[in-house]
Chains A and B, each alone.
Chain A
Amino acid sequence: DTAVSQTPKYLVTQMGNDKSIKCEQNLGHDTMYWYKQDSKKFLKIMFSYNNKELIINETVPNRFSPKSPDKAHLNLHINSLELGDSAVYFCASSELPPGLVYEQFFGPGTRLTVL
């Protein structure tokens, strides 16, 4: 059973389009995250939700909007895609929120390519 799953695995799209990436975890965790990994492999936190409530919102363009319909799902919607959005996006979850962060479980990643 996959603990943290993301769809799609690959996403190729044109500049200006709107796209969504979905994430689901079946671990019963309360906290979920979105990370962006750029071409240099640098990983940066984008958002974190705890029990459907936004608790971390780093300096991310407001074209990125996370949505958590329930605590097992955290989706990422991106409007007006730009070339610089090309990256691998990782979803993760943890039992406890930041400040009490324990092990994070990562999804397999979604490779987004904007042409």
Chain B
Amino acid sequence: SQQGEEDPQALSIQEGENATMNCSYKTSINNLQWYRQNSGRGLVHLILIRSNEREKHSGRLRVTLDTSKKSSSLLITASRAADTASYFCHYSGGSNYKLTFGKGTLLTVNP
């Protein structure tokens, strides 16, 4: 399967702690994005990192990309209960610009 792998599959933390999610992929990529999906809702774009970038920040989010290891990580600092959601990496790459989602990490932030 070309589907990206994310780990952990589920993560439960306390409010105020940091959460780190990882995404590994199999093809060369043009860019990688992270999305959030609240239960029963559509996906919301969080951040995009291009293949020539190594790190990007947006508010409490920090994304890293290591193209040599074909992996990316999403760090959410000072988590809040409202951060409870599933997080997916999404990337395009390969000769036919195949679009692929990771399998997702379910994050639960306990108040």
Binding site for B on A (CB under 8 A): 4, 33, 35, 40-45, 48, 56, 90, 92, 97-109
Cβ of B100 within 8 Å of any chain A Cβ, yes or no, is yes
* Residue contact B33 to A103, C-beta cutoff 8 Å: yes
Q: How far is the CA of A100 from the CA of B43 in the complex (A)?
A: 20
Query: Is the beta-carbon distance between A101 and B99 smaller than 8 angstroms?
Result: yes
B88 CB-CB contact with A under 8 Å: yes
Q: Which residues of B contact A109 (CB under 8 A)?
A: 41-42
B-to-A contact residues, CB < 8 Å: 3, 30-31, 33, 35, 37, 41-45, 48, 86, 88, 90, 92, 96-101, 103-104, 106
- The answer to whether A90 and B99 have CB atoms under 8 Å apart is no
Q: Are B45 and A45 in contact (CB under 8 A)?
A: no
Please give the distance in Å from B23's CB to the nearest CB on chain A.
13
A43 and B48 in contact, given A101-B99, A106-B43 (Cβ under 8 angstroms): no
Closest-CB distance, A93 to chain B (whole angstroms): 12
A56 CA to B100 CA, complexed, in Å: 12
Interface contact B97-A98, CB-CB below 8 Å: yes
Give the top 5 A-B pairs by smallest Cβ distance, nearest first.
A98-B97, A43-B101, A106-B42, A99-B97, A106-B43
Task: Tell me how far the C-beta of B1 lies from the nearest C-beta in chain A, rounded to whole angstroms.
Answer: 9
State how many angstroms separate the Cβ of B40 from the closest Cβ of chain A.
8
| A108 nearest in chain B by CB position | B42
B101 contacts across to A, CB distance below 8 A: 35, 42-45
Cα-based distance from A103 to B58 in the complex (angstroms): 15
A90 touches B30 (CB 8 A): no
Chain A's closest residue to B90 (CB) is A104
CA distance A32 to B33 in the complex (A): 17
CA distance A101 to B51 in the complex (A): 12
Q: How far is the CA of A40 from the CA of B1 in the complex (A)?
A: 15
CB-defined A-B contacts under 8 Å, sample of 18: A4-B42, A35-B101, A41-B37, A41-B104, A43-B88, A43-B104, A45-B98, A56-B96, A90-B42, A98-B97, A99-B92, A99-B97, A100-B30, A101-B97, A104-B33, A104-B43, A104-B45, A109-B41
